[in-house]
């Protein structure tokens, strides 16, 4: 709990992964919206006492991330700023995969970061992209409070690996299988203040 308090007292970046989505194999994955349960978890996050200390919101261009960012924007009166480079690792080569097949492919994605798995964007490239996107946000943002970034689990894991100086590994992945977690790092020092936490619980 001490680290959580420190994060709220220190201007930080809250990296938030979108919660559960409404899966529709007929739609491209980037167009999937949040499900009702996913929306409920993002609304629960809005009840946290530090929400009003958020002074900027950014998100990827994927529908589910925009949905999560707009829910947060509704509680803060801020605008959600879309950044394409915050998108999930490009998996368009395979499109929708059944969960067991997806998990096996994701395991290979993290285990072999310098290889393209089934045509997916390489983990090393996705990591470089998301790190550069976050660095650009921090260089350009003129607000002084917390920055919220609503994005995705895969690139969030890659960012967390970078921030902690760890090799790319799925061992750093968010818990659970539905998303809806966050971690925080200091705006100035980039030091991680706390690791993955469920956005729907206090």
Averaged pLDDT in 10-residue chunks for the chain of 202 residues: 54 97 91 97 94 96 98 98 98 92 97 98 98 98 97 98 98 93 97 95 72
pTM above threshold 0.75:
yes
CA distance 65 to 87: 9
Strand order in the sheet with 12-17: 80-82, 54-59, 146-151, 12-17, 181-186, 192-198
Instruction: Determine the pLDDT at residue 1.
Output: 35
CATH number listed for the domain at residues 2-198: 3.40.50.1240
**What pLDDT was estimated at residue 174?**
97
Among residues 94, 89, 102, 103, the alpha carbon closest in space to that of 152 is found at 89
Q: How far apart are CA 155 and CA 18, in angstroms?
A: 12
pLDDT value at residue 2: 39
Radius of gyration of the chain measured on its C-alpha atoms = 16
CA atoms within 13 A on the CB side of 151: 33
pLDDT value for 178: 87
pLDDT at residue number 3? 41
Quick count: other Cβ atoms within 10 Å of Cβ 196? 19
What the block records as the tokens of 86 is 């915050």
Q: What is the pLDDT of residue 68?
A: 98
pLDDT at residue 201, as a whole number: 80
Q: What is the DSSP string of 20-80?
A: -B---TTS-GGGPPB-HHHHHHHHHHTTSTTGGGEEEEEE-SSHHHHHHHHHHHHHHTPPE
For residue 54, the Cα-to-chain-centroid distance in whole angstroms is: 16
């Amino acid at each position: 709990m001490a680290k959580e308090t420190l994060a709220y007292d220190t201007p930080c970046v809250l990296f938030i992964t979108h919660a559960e989505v409404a899966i529709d194999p007929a739609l491209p994955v980037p167009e999937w919206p949040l499900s009702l349960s996913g929306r409920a978890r993002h609304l629960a996050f809005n009840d946290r006492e530090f929400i009003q200390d958020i002074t900027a919101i950014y998100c990827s261009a994927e529908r589910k991330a925009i949905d999560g960012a707009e829910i947060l924007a509704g509680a803060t009166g801020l605008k959600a700023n879309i950044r394409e480079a915050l998108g999930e690792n490009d998996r368009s080569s395979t499109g929708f995969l059944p969960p067991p097949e997806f998990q096996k492919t994701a395991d290979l994605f993290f285990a072999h970061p310098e290889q393209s798995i089934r045509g997916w964007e390489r983990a090393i490239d996705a990591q470089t992209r998301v790190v550069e996107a976050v660095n650009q946000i921090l260089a350009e943002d003129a607000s002084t409070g917390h920055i919220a970034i609503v994005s995705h689990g895969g690139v969030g894991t890659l960012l967390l690996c970078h921030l902690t100086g760890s090799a790319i590994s799925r061992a750093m992945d968010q818990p659970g299988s539905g998303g809806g977690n966050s971690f925080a790092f200091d705006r100035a020092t980039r030091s991680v203040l706390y690791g993955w936490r469920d956005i729907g619980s206090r």
